[in-house]
Chain A
């Protein structure tokens, strides 16, 4: 009897223990992808490169809006985007400084992991993919050097000067070029990096090589307007969308180029060029001006105008963007009809620069545009005339591409978060560099709607030409 009882108890105990398999409440499954599931798997490099494309979009999302603000290109009329950049008050504790440093480091770190862990473990990886990984890491260094005064190149370490970042960028672009010798982009990237380091000889060589490799070269950052707000174009919101707080308004002399960031359709936002062959011509022109070869520069600048003429335009309804949002305050009152003329204070008024967005579709250049024609180039006399015109071309051609602040010599400091969590950061690292000759109200205008005239207070390109020997600007001078 006792045996039977013990058997029954054992049987029930076994049932209870077995039933635990059915109800184990501690089993949880992490739905995320972890490190171990990607390294060493075939085709992991291609997934990683898509990740880099996305990170590039995130990085440019941060760059483009604040770069537009920290320039004379755009003014912030009522937005929650950064406002102090608009008046060139750039401090280390600004959230945008930190966000941009993080995005650039993320791009660098991601490319780094790609080069050192993902690519070597991927049995299907190619040299072209490795070249792209080097390009992305080089691009992170390039942006670090172009935008920041100093910046750590390794997590938690000391901030290095811009020149070191540009040298790192050159090393990576060279590695990319070695792996994929026919790619015009790597040559053009090298030309740009050399340009900013002031290495005129190498910049000219690489600019010429790039033109020879692909006379219409263009590389864009692309947006994903469907998969969440992070990777769609903030600049498009800022420049074009209305009915919200995101209202950036262009300098009236650049009105005809706006909005380069526009909604192509409900699921597509216009890509923004990050590298295009126009830059090679502009480098060559600037090199010749600095060599006092003005006739040579004259031709190179006409080459740029000709090239720009071949670039695509887009025609669309931009009535939502509007221009004169609210006549009740002067901030919102902007030129909005084609009859308005625009000119710098003390200079001639120019016609044809302002579009009417409420009178049917508008047409704007989507890659490059300039208001200058050959006759304007032929009218140039002095070196400063040439430099002023060249920098106007750069301003127009690179509008909304995050480039103007680089030409203005504005450099960001190391961020507060970096300083608080990295003991290697010095007091000098957290100071921004803004050339003293730049007026803080660069985008100031006086618009007389009745007279149909708009006066831009400062001719910033003339200021640049006048300060050409300042180390912060015009690298070849």
Chain B
């Protein structure tokens, strides 16, 4: 039997060889205009064997003569060609040349952008290429046309302000919620509840959202576009889609980036500060990637190691990241996608901003001569001996400080798509995000003595603080999409349900009188422990109907009903509706005559609601319990709030999308009017009640404005392709009502801080406005008055991209704002120390700074060029067959800053962001180093 089998096998093999010949096929793949298409996948059907076309569209592959080749390329219809006896196969890719962009976020399922009435901002993989960035907020900075991303500090891994359409909530951070492959992830962009304060720079969970394998980012703004996210999306939603790989032979990439980091002295008053504080740091990044697959299974893997030793002594970070995504067709109807990522971050920090232990920025604020033995506190007048003292001090502080943060983060997503019949698609997604972070600050006696905080010889003041945060977010969703057409009508019906659960657990240990040299809280005289537990589950169901008529009239209706464990006990399901209509005018017959000038025109209008749920457990009659002198101190409760409901962002928007001259110029204009009702205000009760403030549905906040985005194709010819995208956004923000509550503070200082009050923008700067008479003496003071708003009137971004002969590409991004104000807190400190400029007349130099607030409020206008990169793709003929492509890129990050403020960076903020998930309006230029300049060279090999 065995012998017969072998014989049969041999015969079959022989027969096969005699009929099927192995031949080499080559050819060129072009688009319909005849231009060669680089990077087209050419795969032998039923195998993982394949190649990609080169820069000119040429390919060569060995195949069996009975095989079929599959040609695929994003934006074109996939083609299948049987080889037969041909050795040259040229293919023209066509079909869906004008691929309609499909968006997912806020829609329940994929839907053509043309059919929807809301705006979705998209960042594509191409936009992300060659950017040596490691955190999501930096990645989208300047890339999202109608959003602002302000880096509150230049120290790695610290919190930022991400906002669009003003400030919709006084209760929580403006950071949108973030989904990765359909799974909600930690978006905490503030300090943690039990976090260790190092001054102003707070660590952010945005710093470790993986960015290596991003294929696409979608951003939808709160209100109308986020209705399907219900009570969780008043601030908008960012969704990240990871790369799934493309069918074909395995492709490998290796990339290395080496660079120099140099702190920016643009904002310093004294030259000495840069000279003493900054050193040139060295950064290095290594990335590897592999992707490929066949028509049934594709995969993408990326891994990276990144680190730098900082722009000043004592600031360092290392980062490790891995991500794999696999996409598999299990059968004709079932598709599985699974992605798994891991990120580890380590940061070394120093005290900064609102910490009197920040000696580095202290130079700018006037170091104490008596304390440090300086001849003067004016760095411009320092002798070499003074410089030596301060340099030694900084070096000693960096050497003895021991403030670290470690983050470990796992994130995964599983989704199963089932297409039981044509037109129906069912998708189930489940995933988790687990983030562990640990902060540790060891203040040794030596450190405190170096800081001149304790007398030399002190041995009993050493402390250790350790906090750990474990955050687990789980998300599950199930939705069904049904597409139908009937005569001129087309219908897309989406229904589904979704839940997420966030579990935030923190612990903190504070040890006192720690034995010198100990890294453990055990070696101390006393250890105090605290914990923090916050759990919330949000669950609901949604539906959406999108109806199209004659491919030009579209209406959609949507809703979500949400339940949330943070709602008051008397608050049931919350209904969030949306309605929209759009009209693609350019698809009308009467438009044909205009189409040579106006190639596309769409009018759209929409109304929708989304919400923000209250703080978990704020609804309960909680008692305040503290440890006090060894006893348990129980203090009164706030009354229960059974009616505590989500705040509701109701948005109406209208817009027009236009493209001209064969799409060479596009313009999108949107007007929005957004109102947050039942806004959650942590406004004080009348003090006579003796109760702590608690979230209440008190306020009404309005945000109105315009969003204008345009793209110009400046040059397009055989050699050049130059595009410029620019945006202009106008914002009007006002607190329409505080619901009868007194105004309240949301950060800053007692004498000058951002407040919430009726009739003024949220977070307006409240303080004293002095006037001086001719002699410079104080003439009058208006206390607690409006000194300016932190939110700008206008902001925008711009991107210039240019390619030459498809080998050279130049990429420049920047953003700007105008009309806002910020406090020059550094100058306040200089005023204390006699180093102030002349804004306070000499005759008023003894006036209390409490009465001078207004003199330190300055314009926060700026224009910053964030990124200039130039890259070159080397010709293939320079390399052997194994190397497909080599790309060399030079990048300058944060090269240019233009600003009005005197000696402070209006983007950084040394106050706020400290309370967990609290709103941060910025507005305090205070002892915070700005994002450093980086000059990075990178080389990327594709194998």
A-B complex is real: yes
**Residues 20-50 of chain A, each 1 if its beta carbon lies under 8 Å from chain B, else 0:** 0000011111111111111000001011101
In the bound complex, residues from chain B placing their C-beta under 8 Å from that of A104 are 690
Instruction: Take A33-B622, A53-B629, A417-B684 as given contacts and tell me if A156 and B635 are in contact as well, using a CB distance cutoff of 8 Å.
Output: no
B749 located at the interface, meaning its Cβ lies under 8 Å from any Cβ of chain A in the complex: yes
With contacts A53-B629, A87-B848, A105-B687 taken as known, whether A35 is within 8 angstroms of B453 at the C-beta atoms is: no
Are the C-beta atoms of B356 and A244 separated by less than 8 Å? yes
* A-chain residues with CB within 8 Å of residue B691 when the two chains form the complex: 106, 109, 155
A-B contacts, 21 listed (Cβ < 8 Å): A25-B476, A28-B535, A30-B620, A34-B622, A34-B637, A35-B623, A50-B634, A51-B626, A51-B633, A51-B635, A53-B629, A53-B633, A102-B687, A152-B688, A222-B629, A224-B628, A226-B512, A227-B628, A231-B626, A242-B371, A418-B688
- For B506-550 the 0/1 string (1 means CB < 8 A from A) is 000010110000000000011010011101110100000000000
Contacts of A230 in B (CB 8 A): 626
Residues of chain A at the chain B interface (Cβ within 8 Å): 25-38, 44, 46-48, 50-51, 53-55, 57, 78, 80, 82-84, 86-87, 89, 91, 93, 95-96, 98, 101-102, 104-110, 113, 151-157, 222, 224, 226-228, 230-231, 241-245, 265-267, 317, 319-320, 322, 324-329, 332, 415-422
Name the residue of chain B whose CB is nearest to the CB of A76: B848
Q: A35-B621, A109-B690, A243-B371 are in contact. Are A83 and B850 (CB under 8 A)?
A: yes
19 more A-B contacts (CB under 8 A) besides A32-B617, A54-B626, A80-B751? A25-B476, A30-B617, A31-B532, A32-B625, A34-B637, A38-B623, A47-B632, A53-B633, A87-B848, A93-B784, A102-B684, A109-B689, A152-B688, A156-B688, A227-B628, A231-B626, A324-B370, A326-B370, A418-B742
A266 to B850: give the CA distance in the assembly, Å. 33
Cβ–Cβ contact A418 & B687, under 8 A: yes
Residues of B within 8 A of A91 (CB): 783
| B526–A51 CB distance below 8 A | no
Q: Is the CB of B688 within 8 A of A105?
A: yes
CA A109 to CA B691, docked complex, whole Å: 8
Q: Is the CB of A328 within 8 A of B633?
A: no
A84 touches B688 (CB 8 A): no
List residues of chain B with CB within 8 A of the CB of A35. 621, 623, 637, 640
Establish whether residues A265 and B460, one from each chain, have CB atoms under 8 Å apart when the complex forms. Answer: yes
Residues of A within 8 A of B525 (CB): 266-267
Q: Judging by beta carbons under 8 Å apart, are A328 and B376 in contact?
A: yes
Q: Which of B634, B684, B689, B741 contacts A156 (CB 8 A)?
A: B689
B593 contacts partner chain A, Cβ-Cβ < 8 Å = no
Q: Is the CB of B688 within 8 A of A151?
A: yes
CA distance A46 to B628 in the complex (A): 13
Contacts of B832 in A (CB 8 A): 78
B633 touching A54, Cβ below 8 Å: yes
CA distance A47 to B621 in the complex (A): 17
User: Quick check: A266 and B460 within 8 Å, CB to CB?
Assistant: yes
Residues of chain B with a CB closer than 8 A to A108's CB: 690
The answer to whether B371 and A82 have CB atoms under 8 Å apart is: no
A1 to chain B, nearest CB (A): 24
Alpha-carbon distance between A222 and B620 when the two chains are bound, in angstroms: 31
Chain B residue contacts of A231, Cβ below 8 A:
626, 628
B452 within 8 A of A: yes
User: Hey, which chain B residues are within 8 Å of A95, CB to CB?
Assistant: 745, 750
Q: Considering residues A27, A32, A416, which has the most beta carbons from chain B within 10 angstroms of its beta carbon?
A: A32
Known contacts being A319-B455, A326-B368, is A25 close to B686, with CB within 8 Å? no
What residues of chain A lie closer than 8 Å to B455, measured between beta carbons? 317, 319-320
A48 to B636, CA, bound (A): 9
Contact B617 A320 (CB under 8 A): no
Q: Beyond A50-B628, A421-B740, A421-B742, is A101–B460 a contact (Cβ under 8 Å)?
A: no
B848: chain A residues within 8 A (beta carbon): 83-84, 86-87, 89
Please tell me if the beta carbons of A32 and B620 are within 8 angstroms of each other in the complex. yes
State whether A420 touches B743 (Cβ < 8 A): yes
Task: Kindly list chain A residues whose C-beta atoms are within 8 Å of the C-beta of B629.
Answer: 50, 53, 222, 224
Q: Which chain A residue shows the least CB distance to B851?
A: A84
A54: B residues at CB distance < 8 A: 626, 628, 633, 635
Say whether B623 contacts A82, CB under 8 Å: no
Complex: A230 Cα to B530 Cα, angstroms: 14
Q: Are A155 and B690 in contact (CB under 8 A)?
A: yes
Chain A residues, Cβ within 8 Å of B631: 46-47, 50, 53
The distance in angstroms between the C-alpha atoms of A156 and B687, with both chains bound, is 8
Name the 5 nearest CB pairs between A and B, nearest first. A109-B690, A155-B689, A105-B690, A420-B742, A244-B356
- Chain A residues with Cβ below 8 Å from B454 are 320
How distant is the Cα of A101 from the Cα of B691 in the complex, in angstroms?
11
Min C-beta distance of B432 to chain A, whole Å: 12
Report the bound CA distance from A430 to B688 in whole Å: 14
Give the one of A35, A109, A242, A328 with max B CB within 10 A.
A328
Indicate whether B491 reaches chain A with its CB closer than 8 angstroms. Answer: no
A310 to chain B, nearest CB (A): 26
Partner of A33, one of B532, B533, B625: B625
Of A91, A419, A422, most buried by chain B (CB within 10 Å of CB) is A422
From B357, B452, B499, B750, residue with most partner A Cβ within 10 Å: B750
* Most chain A beta-carbon contacts within 10 A, residue among B451, B533, B637, B849: B637
Is there contact, CB below 8 Å, between A415 and B687? yes
Question: In the complex, what residues of A have CB within 8 A of residue B688's CB?
Answer: 101, 105, 151-157, 418, 422
**Interface membership of chain B positions 704-724, coded 1 if the CB is closer than 8 angstroms to chain A and 0 otherwise:** 000000000000000000000
Is B335 an interface residue, CB under 8 A from the partner? no
Verify if B264 is at the interface (C-beta below 8 Å from A).
Answer: no
A228 touches B626 (CB 8 A): yes
By a CB distance below 8 angstroms, the chain A residues around B834 are 328-329
Q: Does B369 contact A (CB under 8 A)?
A: yes
Give Cα A91–Cα B851 distance, bound, in whole angstroms. 12
Q: In the bound complex, do residue A32 and residue B622 qualify as a contact, i.e. CB atoms below 8 Å apart?
A: yes
Query: By the criterion CB–CB under 8 Å, are B537 and A26 in contact?
Result: yes
Q: Are B684 and A328 in contact (CB under 8 A)?
A: no
Contacts of A329 in B (CB 8 A): 833-834
Determine whether the beta carbon of B368 is less than 8 Å from that of A325: yes
How long is the Cα–Cα vector from A230 to B56 in the complex, in angstroms?
70
Task: Report whether A155 and B686 are in contact in the complex, using a CB–CB cutoff of 8 Å.
Answer: yes
B226 within 8 A of A: no
With the chains together, A152 CA to B371 CA distance in Å? 47
Alpha-carbon separation in the docked complex, A192 to B875 (Å): 94
Residue of A nearest to B566 (CB): A28
In the bound complex, CA of A282 to CA of B453 (Å): 39
Nearest residue, chain B, Cβ from A107: B690
Residues of chain B in range 665-689 having any CB-CB distance to chain A below 8 Å: 684-689
- Bound-state CA distance A190–B924 (Å) is 49
Beta-carbon contact of B368 and A227 below 8 Å? no
Q: Is B287 among interface residues, defined by CB-CB distance under 8 A? A: no
Q: Are A47's CB and B633's CB within 8 A? A: yes
B461 within 8 A of A: yes
Q: Which of A31, A82, A153, A243 contacts B533 (CB 8 A)?
A: A31
A157 partner residues in chain B, CB cutoff 8 A: 688
Residues of chain A within 8 A of B528, CB atoms compared = 226-227
- Alpha-carbon gap, A213 to B451, bound state (A): 50
